[in-house]
Structure 1
Amino acid sequence: MVEEKFYSDRERLVQALTQDCASALQKGIKEHGQASFMVSGGSTPEPAYRALSKRPLPWQQINVALVDERWVEKTEKGSNQAFIEKCLLQNNAAEAPFLGMKTPHATAAEGQADCECAYGELPRPFDICILGMGGDGHTASLFPHAQGLEAALDPEATQLCRAITAKKSEVTGEHTERMTLSLAAILQSQDIKLLITGEEKLKVYREALLGSDELAMPVRSILKQGLKPVTVYWAP
Structure 2
Amino acid sequence: MAEEKFFQDRERLVQALAHDCACELQKGIKENNHASFLVSGGSTPEPVYRELSKRPLPWSQITAALVDERWVEKTESGSNAAFIEKSLLQNFGDEANFLGMKNSHASAAEGEEACERAYSELQKPFDVCLLGMGSDGHTASLFPHAQGLQDALNPESQKLCKAITANQSEVTGSNTERMTLTLSAILQARNIKLLITGEEKLKVYREALLGSDELEMPVRSILKQGLKPVTVYWAP
Do they superpose with TM above 0.5? yes
1:157 aligns with 2:157: yes
Q: d(CA) in 2 for partners of 1:163 and 1:43? A: 23
Q: d(CA) in 1 for partners of 2:156 and 2:14? A: 33
Question: Which residue of the partner structure matches residue 29 of structure 1?
Answer: 29
Question: Which residue of the partner structure matches residue 173 of structure 1?
Answer: 173
How far did 1:54 drift? 1.2
What code does the residue aligned with 2:185 have? A
Scaled by the length of structure 2, the TM-score of the pair is 0.99
Count how many residue pairs are aligned between Structure 1 and Structure 2. 236
1:138 aligns with 2:138: yes
1:204 aligns with 2:204: yes
Question: Which residue of the partner structure matches residue 17 of structure 1?
Answer: 17
Q: Identity of aligned pairs, percent?
A: 78
1:42 aligns with 2:64: no
- Please give the secondary structure, in 2, of the residue aligned with 1:127: strand
What code does the residue aligned with 1:162 have? K
How far did 1:102 drift? 0.1
How far did 1:221 drift? 0.1
The Cα RMSD (Å) is: 0.5
What code does the residue aligned with 1:40 have? S
Q: d(CA) in 2 for partners of 1:143 and 1:48? A: 24
Question: Which residue of the partner structure matches residue 187 of structure 2?
Answer: 187
Q: d(CA) in 1 for partners of 2:51 and 2:201? A: 24
Scaled by the length of structure 1, the TM-score of the pair is 0.99
Gaps of 5+ in 1: none
1:115 aligns with 2:127: no
- Please give the secondary structure, in 2, of the residue aligned with 1:111: helix
How far did 1:48 drift? 1.0
Moved over 4 A (4+): none
How far did 1:44 drift? 1.5
1:81-129, Cα deviation, whole Å (9 max, x unpaired): 0000000101111111100000111100000000000000000000000
What code does the residue aligned with 2:67 have? V
Gaps of 5+ in 2: none
Question: Which residue of the partner structure matches residue 231 of structure 2?
Answer: 231
Q: d(CA) in 2 for partners of 1:192 and 1:82? A: 23
What code does the residue aligned with 2:191 have? D
Q: d(CA) in 1 for partners of 2:10 and 2:51? A: 14
- Please give the secondary structure, in 2, of the residue aligned with 1:168: coil
